[in-house]
Amino acid sequence: MFKKILIANRSEIAVRAIRACRELGVKTVAVYSEADRESRHVALADQAVCIGPAPAKLSYLDAEAVLSAAKITGADAVHPGYGFLSENADFAEACRSRGLVFIGPPPEASRKLGYKSSAKAVALEAKVPVVPGTKGLVAGDAAREAAAIGYPVLIKAAAGGGGKGMRVVRQAGELAAQLATAANEAKAAFGDGAVYLEKLLDRPRHVEIQIAADGRGGAVAFPERDCTVQRRHQKLVEESPSPALTPEIRRRMQEAAVRLVKAAGYANVGTVEFLFQDGQFYFIEVNARLQVEHPVTEAVAGVDLMELMIRLAAGEPLPFGQERAGEIRGHSFEHRINAEDPDNGFAPCPGRIETLELPGGAGVRVDTHAYAGYTVPSYYDSLIAKVITFAPDRPSAIRRSLRALGELQVGGIKTTAAFHAKVLSHPVFQKGDFDTHFIETHGLLDSKEPQNA
C-alpha cells in the first residue's frame, strides 16, 4: 500500500479521496489554488501545497505544478479525482516517468478509450453495439457522411464531454455552420477541435455501467446507473438501478462493458456509457476515471469504489468476481446540488454560505466540501454538495430523497435543491418512464430557460 497520496483535485471529490486514504492508513497531500485556500480539503489533508492562482489552467491543470508538489512532499502516488487532469494520458505518463503511481488506468488504455472516435473503434472490435455514425473524425465530405447516416445527426467533440462541442443538426442546410460552432467550442473547452457525427436518437435514456479491472485479466461490472435526467447534457439526478432495464438487458450491457475494457487493456475503475432506446443499447463513450455519480453504485453494490481504486493501483487483485459485483441491494439516488438559480436560467450563484444545515438519518449521505462561512468561488464548477439516498426500493428512495432535500438548508446563496424536489415529485418521473428530454418536455424549466437547449 502507498505511504502518501497527493490528491490532484479540489472540492467534494478531494474530500472523498482524503477520507478514503485516512481509512486505509495512507497520508495525504492536498493541492489548492489561491481561490481554494479556505476549502475543506485543504484542512483535512496531512499536508497542503498552493499550486497557483485561481484560474484552473494556472493551477489544477498545471501538470508541472502538481508533479512538483508531489516531489517536494514525498508522495508516491497521485489521485486525479474527476475533471482537470483525470483523463489526461500525458499526465498519467508523466507520473510514471517521475516514479509516481497514477491512480487510474494506464495511459495506453486512456489513449484508446479517452478519445471518443478511437473508443468507438475498440467497441466495434469487441462487438459492442454503437450508435451509427462516421467511422472516424469528420475530415472530408461532411455533407455526404451526414446524408449517409441520415438526419437528424449529432455533432460530437472527439475529446471531452459535458455537452461541450455538441450540436444537433436536423437538415443539411444547418450542417456547415453547426460544424464550425461545435469545433470552435471543443477547441476552447478541450484544446482539440476534432469532431465526429452520430445518428441522433430522439428519445434515449442515458445508462452507464461502472467497471473495475485489475490488470491481471480480471474485470467486473456493477449495477447500472441511470443518468437520464439532464439539462443541456449535464446530469442532474442519477439513480441505480435503472427503472427501464430488464435483468436480461442488464446482463448483456454488463457483458458488453467488460468485453470493451478487456479489449482495451484497461485497469482500475471506469465507466462505460450507453444510450438505451426501444430495447436496444448503444455504446457512446468511456469515462476513464471515477464518476461524479459513483456513490449510487457504492450504495447499491455495497462497495467502496474509492478504496477499490486505490487498492487496484497498489497492485492488489480484484477482491470479488462478477456475481458479487453485480448484486443489487436496494435503490439509490444522487442529487447534484449546485450553486445556481433555477428561477433565473440556472445562473451561477457564487458567494458566501452564511448558514448550512445538512440532511441526515437512515439512508442519507452527503458528500460536500462546503460549510457555513465558506465562499463558493466563481472560477470552477458550481457543485457544492451531493445528496445520496438509499432505500429498499425506488418509491421508498424517492420519498427519502424528498425528505433529505427538504432538510437541506443553505443560507446566503441560491441552490438547485428545490428543483430536484420538483423533478422527484413529477408523476412521469415517479413512474420511471422518461428520456433525456424529460425536463424540457414536461415544462420543468423556468420561462427564462431556452426550451430547445
- How far is Cα 177 from Cα 310, in angstroms, rounded to an integer? 45
Name the one residue in this structure whose C-alpha cell is 471506469.
Answer: 270
Name the one residue in this structure whose C-alpha cell is 508531489.
Answer: 70
Integer-rounded Cα Rg, in Å, for the chain is 21
- How far is Cα 114 from Cα 265, in angstroms, rounded to an integer? 13
- How far is Cα 142 from Cα 90, in angstroms, rounded to an integer? 30
Question: Is there a cis peptide before residue 241, judged by omega within 30 degrees of 0?
Answer: yes
H/E element holding 65? helix 63-73
H/E element holding 340? strand 340-341
Q: DSSP letter at 104?
A: S
- How far is Cα 114 from Cα 119, in angstroms, rounded to an integer? 7
- Picking from 437, 438, 380, 435, the residue whose alpha carbon sits closest to that of residue 60 is 380
Report whether 29 contacts 68 (CB < 8 A): no
Report whether 203 contacts 277 (CB < 8 A): yes
Query: For strand 4-7 and strand 77-79, is the pairing parallel, antiparallel, or unpaired?
Result: parallel
Q: Which three cell numbers stand for residue 136?
A: 472516424
Residues pairing with 154 in the sheet: 168, 198
Clarify whether 289 is annotated catalytic.
Answer: yes
- How far is Cα 441 from Cα 436, in angstroms, rounded to an integer? 9
Is residue 175 classed exposed, middle or buried when 0-12, 13-18 and 19+ CB atoms within 10 A define those classes? buried
Catalytic residue among 16, 40, 289, 400: 289
Name the one residue in this structure whose C-alpha cell is 478504496.
Answer: 307
Q: Is 18 in a helix, a strand, or coil?
A: helix
Report whether 8 contacts 28 (CB < 8 A): no
Q: Where are the alpha helices (DSSP H) in 302-378?
A: 305-313, 322-325
- How far is Cα 408 from Cα 414, in angstroms, rounded to an integer? 12
Q: Where are the beta strands (DSSP E) in 167-252?
A: 167-169, 195-199, 205-213, 219-221, 225-231, 234-240
Identity of the residue numbered 361: G
- The catalytic residue positions are 289
